[in-house]
Amino acid sequence: MWGINGNEIHNDVFDQIISLDNLFLAWREFKRGKTKKLEVQEFELSV
């Protein structure tokens, strides 16, 4: 489980952070209460 200097652990955590499920969850949490802002609407259309 531990690679050289814990690289395997870091890679696993990084993969979890950048997973699509996690990114969409972060987006949903971020946009809460901001859905009427033009910038948020424009960004959501591009996702």
> How far is the CA of 4 from the CAs of 7, 9, 10, 11, 17, in angstroms?
6, 10, 11, 12, 21
Give 1-47 pLDDT, tens digit per residue.
445 555 677 778 888 888 999 999 999 999 999 999 999 999 999 97
**The pLDDT value given to residue 37:** 95
pLDDT of residue 7: 65
Report pTM: 0.62
Q: Which pLDDT belongs to residue 16? A: 87
The pLDDT value recorded for residue 1 is 45
pLDDT reported for residue 36: 94
